[in-house]
Amino acid sequence: MTTRAARLRPGDPCAFVVFGAMGDLTKRKLLPALYNLQANGLLPRELAFLGVARRALDDAAFRDYAAAAARELGARPAAGGSAADFTACVHYVKGDFEEAGTYEALSAALAHAAKEHGTSGNAVFYLATPPGEFSAIVRGLAGAGLTRQDAGWRRVVVEKPFGHDLDSARALNRELSGVLDESQIYRIDHYLGKETVQNLMVFRFANGMFEPIWNRRYVDHVQLTVAEELGVEGRGAYYEEAGVVRDIVQNHMLQLLTLVAMEPPSTLAPEAVRNEKVKVLDAIRAMEPEQVLRDAVRGQYGAGEVAGKRVAAYRDEPGVSTTSQTETFAALKLVVDNWRWAGVPFYLRSGKRLARRDTQISIQFRRPPLLLFEEAGVEQIEPNRLDILVQPEEAISISMKAKRPGPGIVLEQVKLDFSYARFGPLPPATGYERLLHDVMMGDTELFHRADLVLASWRIVTPVLDVWSSLPARDFPSYESGTWGPAASFELLARDGRRWVNPG
């Protein structure tokens, strides 16, 4: 197993090949993340970056593009001005992903990279393309013999969405496993690269005091919120096919849930951790149609005001149908059928154009068994709550009661706070740094395994099926800049609970 200390060395020598080199993801995340890794001394000296795309460009033009992207997105130049070193290893391969010629050209470029940059025959193939292209690329790579590992390792990074539902995810898994070993496939989820998300494992398993209360005896319920101020930002056509359940819940949110709910793994070996994650997902009860109607809420944003600016309704966004049925908000009540969590609901909600950007996990504990402060006029004691703030603020806090100083007993809700700010200003990061480094190190812990993806689809597919067969009659159902449709509040109110809204 790779230890954390060993990880803090540069990744293995390799060629880093990106399909979709001129796309948004490459520009906004991958290139800046690689520059940041270099600034931290975590890129191998023996590296080649090969961009593959359809546009006619040469190496020099692509180098300028890469350097400009890194500058624009605030990536850090490496100490000693060696940012230029990264740019010097950038090359471009023009080609159509459907054509065999592209893979022949790539093969030649890889051979050249091995000679010029000493990449040792290792290669990462990053599919930063729309999902419709995944199959053609993987077939093309295999057809040209580029997935064979006889002279160096070959790893393929697959971006989400990984399938559209359970059946299509199965089909994609089959297709990939036809030409690749599971150990070569890195299904990436950028939420797992976030600092606070990585800290969840440390919080739970490096502190002995939480584990004894981390179960149905002490926890009343768990809330997970991924709220965005953003709308669909020019991705209307993609989003029409996706909706928030496919875009956020199936992947990012269920991953957050596994980190909260999984059993302690026996080691930090990737397979040990991923086994525990799958077990939790397998324990989540799949909803029957009548449960979907009761325990799943969907919404779509209308016009409104977000961060002081007027914004358009979803149906008025470019690329979106004026009668769209796509959900931009979802709230679900999930039940985990295992000994630890039986009877503890997990409430999940995510939406676009909400009041504030906020990703937060709240563990709400049970009330004290006896009310001892009645005489002081306290009729009900609010339960303790542990909040894990993922973004934009990165913090962990515990809400508890304290006596306000002075005569008599006056209780006040106070917070024990741990903020990441105590580590000083965090260097700019895209969230992809750790993940890209892990790929170069062959560490799969933070990547979705085939069975994990299927387990997540098993949970959300029944919801999507019911929703697609019953059009929503109330869309748009929430004003932009609010916390979503009324039905989301009712979902918790019915159980005598309410969402923990920030602020």
Output 315 or 352, the one with its CB closest to ligand BG6. Answer: 352
Name which position in 8, 60, 88, 230 contacts ligand BG6 (CB under 6 A): 230
Q: Considering only CA atoms, which of 167, 94, 172 is closest in space to residue 133?
A: 172
Angstrom distance (rounded) from CA 26 to CA 19: 9
d(CA 133, CA 131) in angstroms, rounded, equals: 5
Q: Does 159 contact ligand BG6 by CB under 6 A?
A: no
Work out how close the CB of 377 gets to ligand BG6 at its nearest, in angstroms, rounded to a whole number. Answer: 43
Structural Rg of the chain based on CA atoms? 24
394 binds ligand BG6 (CB under 6 A): no
Among the listed residues 117, 164, 190, 252, the single catalytic one is 252
Q: Which residue has the tokens 């525990």?
A: 276
What is the 8-class DSSP label of residue 192?
Answer: G
Instruction: Fill in the amino acid letter for 158.
Output: V
Tokens of 74: 């605030």
User: Does residue 358 interact with ligand BG6 by CB under 6 A?
Assistant: no
**In the bound complex, what is the minimum distance in angstroms from residue 300's beta carbon to ligand BG6?**
15
Residue 247 as a binder of ligand BG6 (CB under 6 A): the answer is: yes
The binding track of 186-205 with respect to ligand BG6, each residue x by CB under 6 A or -, is ----x---------------
Residue with Cβ nearer ligand BG6 (247 or 387): 247
Q: Which is nearer to ligand BG6, 124 or 226 (CB)?
A: 226
Q: How crowded is the C-beta side of 284, counted as CA atoms within 13 Å?
A: 29
Return d(Cα 64, Cα 198) in angstroms, integer: 34
With contact defined as beta carbons under 8 Å apart, do 442 and 155 qualify? yes
Residue 128 near residue 51, CB atoms below 8 Å:
no
Kindly state the smallest distance separating residue 66's Cβ from ligand BG6, in Å: 22
Question: Which residues, numbered 338-357, are part of the site for ligand BG6 (CB under 6 A)?
Answer: none
Residues 109-148 that bind ligand BG6 (CB under 6 A): none
**Residues that contact ligand BG6, how many (by CB under 6 A):** 5
Q: Which residue is nearest to ligand BG6 (CB)?
A: 247
Q: Does 88 bind ligand BG6 (CB under 6 A)?
A: no
Interface of this chain with ligand BG6, residues 406 to 435, rule: CB under 6 A: 431
The residue whose two tokens read 């199959």 is 135
Known catalytic membership, residue 252: yes
Q: How far is CA 33 from CA 20, 27, 36, 90, in A?
A: 16, 10, 5, 15
Instruction: Using the minimum distance from each CB to ligand BG6, give the nearer residue, 12 or 189.
Output: 189
* H or E, element range at 143: helix 134-143
Residue of the chain from 12, 46, 220, 228 that contacts ligand BG6 (CB under 6 A) = 228
Nearer to ligand BG6, 200 or 287 (CB): 200
The residue (of 242 and 262) whose beta carbon lies closer to ligand BG6 is 242
Strand intervals (E) in 178-327? 185-187, 219-227, 296-299, 301-306, 309-311
**Cα 26 off chain centre by:** 17
User: Looking at the annotation, which residues are catalytic?
Assistant: 252
Residues forming contacts to ligand BG6 in the complex (CB under 6 A) are: 190, 228, 230, 247, 431
